[in-house]
Chain A
Amino acid sequence: MELVIRLAGAAGQGIQSLGEILARAFFRSGLYLHAELSYHSRIRGGENAFTLRISDQPVFATRKNADLLVVLTEEMWQAYRGKLREGAWVVAEESLGIEGPRVLRLPAGKLAREKLKLPIAMGVILLGAAAKLLGLPEEKLAQALQEVFGEKAGPNLQALSLGYEHGSPPVWELPRPQFGPGERMLLTGGQAVGAGAIAAGCKFLAAYPMTPGTPVMEFLAQRSERFGIVVEQAEDEIAAINMALGAAYGGARAMVTTSGGGFALMVEGLSLAGMIETPVVIHLGQRPGPATGLPTRTSQENLLFALYAGHGEFPRFLCAPRDQESAFYCTIRAFELAEKYQVPGIILTDQFLVDSYAVVPPLDPQRIPVRSHVLSLEELEALPAYQRFALTPSGVSPRALPGLSPHLVLVDSDEHDEFGRITEDLEIRKAMVEKRLKKEKGLKEEVEGPVVYPDVQPSGKTVVLGWGSTFGALREAVEELNSRGGDFLLVHFQDLWPQKWEEIADFLRSARRLITVENNAWGQLGKLLAQETGILPGRHVARYDGRPFVPEELVEVLLREA
């Protein structure tokens, strides 16, 4: 059973808050949900649509068409009237003059102005009417409204009641609760990355605001005192990564958060991280490019960029979380692997994942062990001499922090000797290149292979390849196709570099056909796969209009492609 509710209005009408209230009310009713925010890059007017999908089972994808549209402006009515399911209801502000059998019209604007003297409350009035139609008890909505609005809840609670008064009796029967209080979590991908960073012991974040990187910065900033994290808004992204590297040299687990354009500015710093073997975590929330592109939309255009960014050759860890739950664990792993191998760790998300809410099993802060990877005071004391870049079999040199012992710690962006001194000795140069690259061997042993769904061999099947936040939509599409007698297999990547490409090549060889599905035009995973295995997928399902994939459209297109 599922129900899709869409709230649509202009920026400045509080659509996001209204959506959050409704999502919380369903969550508190023990229902699974996915909520997706689609918005224009502006502060007033334009489009703001919150698509809430309620289900009796976990969902990680959005839908194109809605069962219930709550609409606040004429512009949004025109944009979404064609995206309604059969039998859909519309809850609308009366002045829009929308006619129809299943249209609930409310003088919400008038009520807000005249009864409440609070024009902005129009949205809450419509929300109340919609909630009544959905069969949600008013107490549940009121509780959620207080959670979202806090002290500002007062007059909005009145607005909510007005909505319930003017609403119609329920037309849907909601599923019974699927989980009890405390048994599930509701969060966005951005919050999951932020919580993961805190759990990993992050102590420093520098960032220049850029959508969709900013939610991670704000999440940490609001909890910085509690967890002893220095969160600083840098003058630019170049400063951000160099500040993070200075902090990491001093021993703080450090991160930056940005999008493609900001990451482009950080690239020289990324290369520095590779050279001075100083860990840093980069959260790269993708949006469509090139250049400024579509600032508030989603894309997967930066896979190859994130993988190859940086002059020179050095290892890195690159991971693209598949959903809100895995964004939490991926972030902790990125910190741990960056520290252990003294490499940059990149978390590749996108606007869709960062801004979307989902219901997940409780996050376990102990699942990924967090350990110190620097020399302890006792170890430092026992060392007769110290060399920051000592050559070792694994390529990883013991890492000392400056100022904790008489040992000096020197790092250099020039090629350097074991101590860290600048050198042009070409034998040392060779040894240092080999040392740096050797670290990738260890790192490769720690990566996770792709998820295979269903968990069977690919022989004779059409294999759909994807990565990152498309998992939810692709899994549903494959499930639907197979239930209709199709023979599809999903191979979905989270860890993208390093990766055990030989094993993947062996696995894929018996497939009948390979199709990549990505939010980009090029089929970047396909190119990477071809480069590493010689296997070039025959088809690419591209989406680059800035919107996420939805399962029902994927089913149609995969049927055609297969």
Chain B
Amino acid sequence: MRPEEYLADVEIHWCPGCGNFQIREALVRALAALELPPHRVVLVTGIGQAAKIVHYLRVNGFNGLHGRTIAAAAGLKMVRPDLVVIAESGDGDLYGEGGNHLIHNIRRNVDITVIVHDNRVYGLTKGQASPTAPPGYTTRAQPFGVLSRPFNPLALALALGAGFVAQAFSGDVERTSQIMAAAIRYRGFALVNVLHPCPSWNRVQTFAWYKERIRAVGEEHDPTDFAKAMRLALSDQEVIPVGILYAVEGPTFEERHPVIRRGPPALQPFPALEDLRSVLGEFL
């Protein structure tokens, strides 16, 4: 399939110049490169501008609650390991409201790909600081500037033992698409943090600001080197690494689970009458 065949023919409600357009382009290129039929893919999203992406694509979709994207995606994958499950939403959804689900599904190592649109602000609710906003960033809701330290998704994921940790920049569609394809192909929990400017609300981290700071991890980077990956994840705001920081495969939740290993639990028949009789026999 060609990338454009994954696009839905609908009116798009993103602002002109929004990085979401490039992220969508990168995703459809990745799906096309992996030759995934649209009906084998489920895009699980939450709420926010980024989460609307599910309506702008031609794949299966579960557009759930704000913050609960990864939880719904994990539940789906546990009973339908035959599907390609991608959880995609914004930084507020996945790092703020839904932080707990991020933490514990990294621990589970459910085979899902989590794509985070990280623009450091809340778009749909008009410009409040997100968990990744830098200290001092002022908004109508944060008149004294952000007082908290920014959330570092890459370091957190690495520290929790995530097997695939990557960062991308929406301005580089081709590289972003390659990273996404690698993340989807990866067996296990894959985190792709996609930095993107918000032309409507974020006046600091603009396209030009990112352009000056982005550093692609070079060919020489060894994605199995945990210490190096952690150093990159902890780099200061003046040098922003882009690429696959870490990629090491281990057994997934589904592979370790004795029930899921036998095939998609959701597609198994109702229990046989003799089996039911035997479980009820425990009470005799």
- Report which of B60, B257, B276 forms a contact with A403, defined as CB distance below 8 A: B60
CA of A184 to CA of B283, assembled, Å: 8
A354 at the binding interface (Cβ < 8 Å): no
Q: Report A154-201 residues with CB < 8 Å from chain B CB.
A: 181-182, 184-187, 191, 195, 198-199, 201
What are 6 inter-chain pairs, A to B, with CB distance below 8 A?
A182-B284, A228-B268, A235-B101, A238-B68, A239-B68, A242-B72
The CA of A372 and the CA of B52, in the complex, are separated in Å by: 32
**Quick one: closest A residue to B87, CB to CB?**
A246
Give Cα distance in the complex from A272 to B65, angstroms.
Answer: 7
A235 to B40, CA, bound (A): 28
Does A402 sit at the interface, judged by CB under 8 A?
yes
CB of B258, distance to nearest CB on chain A (Å): 5
- Of all chain A residues, the one with the shortest Cβ separation from B40 is A403
Identify which of A185, A229, A370, A422 contacts B284 (C-beta below 8 A).
A185
List B contacts of A410 (CB < 8 A): 54-55, 60-63
The 9 closest A-B pairs by CB, nearest first: A243-B75, A246-B75, A246-B72, A246-B76, A252-B266, A185-B283, A242-B71, A250-B80, A251-B266
Contacts of B64 in A (CB 8 A): 242, 245-246, 272, 276, 413
Instruction: Contact check, A252 vs B280: say whether CB atoms are below 8 A apart.
Output: no
- In the complex, whether B267 has a CB less than 8 A from a CB of chain A is yes
Known: A243-B74, A272-B65, A403-B40. A235 touches B100 (CB 8 A): yes
Binds B, one of A75-83, A359-367, A530-538: A359-367
Say whether A269 contacts B78, CB under 8 Å: no
Tell me if B115 is interfacial: C-beta within 8 Å of chain A: no
* Residue B260 interfacial (CB < 8 Å): yes
CB-based contact B75/A195 at 8 Å: no
Among B10, B52, B71, B284, the most chain A Cβ lie within 10 Å of the Cβ of: B71
Task: Name the residue of chain B whose CB is nearest to the CB of A421.
Answer: B55
A480 neighbours in B (Cβ, 8 Å): none
**Interface bits A213-244 vs B (CB < 8 Å: 1, else 0):** 00000000001111111101011101100111
- The answer on a CB contact under 8 Å between B71 and A238 is yes
Quick one: closest B residue to A240, CB to CB?
Answer: B71
Could you say which residues of chain A place their CB within 8 Å of the CB of B260? 230
Q: Say whether A109 faces chain B, with CB atoms less than 8 Å apart.
A: no
Partner of A249 from B62, B273, B284 at Cβ < 8 Å: B62
Q: Which of B39, B52, B68, B273 contacts A402 (CB 8 A)?
A: B39
Asked, given contacts A204-B265, A242-B68, A250-B83, whether A411 binds B61 with beta carbons under 8 Å apart, the answer is yes
Which residues of A sit under 8 angstroms from B78, Cβ to Cβ? 204, 230, 232, 243, 247
Contact of A250 among B79, B262, B273 (CB under 8 A): B79
Q: Which residues of B contact A201 (CB under 8 A)?
A: 270-271
Please determine whether A230 and B259 come into contact, CB atoms closer than 8 angstroms: yes
| A254 interface neighbour in B58, B75, B257, B262, Cβ under 8 Å | B75
Assembly CA distance A414 to B74 (angstroms): 21
Query: Which of A187, A198, A239, A251 is in CB contact (< 8 Å) with B271?
Result: A198
Partner of A422, one of B63, B79, B273: B63
How far does the alpha carbon of A409 sit from the alpha carbon of B266 in the complex, in Å?
16
**What interface size band does chain A fall in?**
35 or more
Q: Within the complex, what minimum Cβ distance (angstroms) separates A91 from chain B?
A: 29
A463-479 interface code vs B (CB 8 A; 1 in, 0 out): 00000000000000000
Residues of chain A lying within 8 A (CB to CB) of residue B257: 230
Q: Which of B30-67 contact A (CB under 8 A)?
A: 37-40, 42, 44, 47, 52, 54-55, 58-65, 67
Complex contacts, B55 vs chain A, CB 8 Å? 410, 412, 421-422
Residue in chain B with minimal CB distance to A370: B270
Question: For the complex, is A97 an interface residue (Cβ under 8 Å from B)?
Answer: no
Q: Does A407 contact B (CB under 8 A)?
A: yes
Q: Does A203 contact B (CB under 8 A)?
A: yes
User: For A186, what are the chain B residues with a Cβ–Cβ distance below 8 Å?
Assistant: 283
Among A230, A370, A405, A421, chain B packs the most CB atoms within 10 A around the CB of A230
The interface residues of chain A lying within 8 Å CB-to-CB of B47 are 413-414
User: Once bound together, how far apart are the Cα atoms of A246 and B45, in whole Å?
Assistant: 11
* In contact, A236 and B100 (Cβ under 8 angstroms): yes
Within 8 Å of chain B (Cβ to Cβ): is A420? yes
Confirm or deny: B222 has a beta carbon within 8 angstroms of a beta carbon on chain A.
no
Assembled-state Cα–Cα distance A244/B68 (Å): 12
> Which chain A residue shows the least CB distance to B283?
A185
CA distance A422 to B68 in the complex (A): 18
A363 engages B280 (CB within 8 Å): yes
- Additional 12 contacts, C-beta under 8 A, given A228-B268, A238-B100, A242-B101: A203-B266, A230-B79, A234-B104, A235-B104, A243-B71, A249-B72, A250-B79, A272-B68, A365-B280, A408-B38, A408-B60, A409-B61
- Are B73 and A246 in contact, with the CB atoms below 8 A? yes
CA distance A245 to B101 in the complex (A): 15
Given contacts A199-B276, A226-B275, A251-B266, contact A422 B62 (CB under 8 A): no
- The reply to whether B76 and A420 form a contact with Cβ atoms under 8 Å apart is no
Distance between Cα atoms of A413 and B52 in the complex (Å)? 11
Contact partners of B80 in chain A: CB under 8 A: 250-252, 402-403
**Cβ of A206 under 8 Å from chain B:** yes
**Chain B minimum-CB-distance residue to A416:** B63
Is A411 within 8 A of B280, CB to CB? no
Chain B CB within 8 A of A406 CB: yes
Residue A90 interfacial (CB < 8 Å): no
- Minimum CB–CB distance for A313 against chain B, Å: 18
CB contact between A239 and one of B54, B71, B267 (< 8 Å): that residue: B71
- 1/0 contact string of B62-98 vs chain A (CB within 8 Å): 1111011001111111111011000000000000000
Contact indicator B83/A403 (Cβ below 8 Å): yes
CB-based contact A411/B62 at 8 Å: yes
